[in-house]
Amino acid sequence: DLYSSKTKDLVDFSAARAAYSPASQLEPESLAWSGDGRTIYANLQANAAIVTIDVGSATAVAITPLGLKDWSANGDTDGIDTVKDGKCRLKHKPGFSTLRSASSISSFAVDGVEYLLLAGEGDDKTYGEVDEAKKFRKLILNPFAFHPNFDEFVEPAPKRGQMGILEQAYKNFARQSRSLRLTIGSSAVNYTN
């Protein structure tokens, strides 16, 4: 929240961008070797991406984003259960997405096609007193209202499980035009080739 009175004086974002270095920010979490031993895949959990490394040249040849998991009816899911009531009721949530941020990675091949198996838990970044994530429960003022900064959450607030949520995801940051609600991920297993 760049514009809140608490954080605007804590971080000099221009200096932070100038000091940015892949060596300090990519944060590889774990790695997997290809079956032929020529490639290493390292997951960049905090960045929700995979870096592909050519072993022979010791060069990173690609950084591939893991993308978002879309929980709306347009996504590729049957919905998500966000109510902590001991029952599983999957519902689509329009404008709600999670980052795929793998904490561990493995590779395997089937019929000559190599796949990556990713286990995710979600991750966020903290810079001193500034944390990019908020606990979802802190967005709820009472059983019927969300915090004013999250007025786009229009449905009443039922009992919810633990979920970290990023402050905002913007279409246009300068005008603060919100495009979706974005969480930092959840426990999941994904595979890709």
What is residue 180's three-state secondary structure? strand
pLDDT score at 163:
46
pLDDT score at 32:
93
pLDDT score at 34:
92
- Cβ neighbors of 169 (< 8 A, separation 6 or more) are 97, 178, 179, 180, 181, 182
pLDDT score at 33:
94
Q: Which two tokens stand for residue 12?
A: 């000099």
Is the entire prediction scored with pTM above 0.85?
no
Q: Which two tokens stand for residue 99?
A: 């980052």
Residue 54 to residue 177: CA distance in whole angstroms? 40
Q: Which helix (H) or strand (E) holds 13?
A: helix 13-19
Q: For 129-152, how does the pLDDT look when each residue is reduced to its tens digit (9 = 90+)?
A: 555 555 555 555 555 555 555 544
- Are 107 and 116 in contact by the 8 Å Cβ rule? The answer is yes
What is residue 59's three-state secondary structure? strand
pLDDT score at 29:
84
Q: Which two tokens stand for residue 135?
A: 């606990």
Q: Which two tokens stand for residue 105?
A: 């990675």
Q: Which helix (H) or strand (E) holds 126?
A: strand 126-127
pLDDT score at 21:
77
Residues (pLDDT < 50) of the chain are: 1-3, 151-152, 154-182, 184, 187, 189
Q: Which helix (H) or strand (E) holds 19?
A: helix 13-19
Residue 81 to residue 163: CA distance in whole angstroms? 12
Residue 155 to residue 85: CA distance in whole angstroms? 17
Residue 169 to residue 177: CA distance in whole angstroms? 9
In single-letter form, the type of residue at position 155 comes to: E
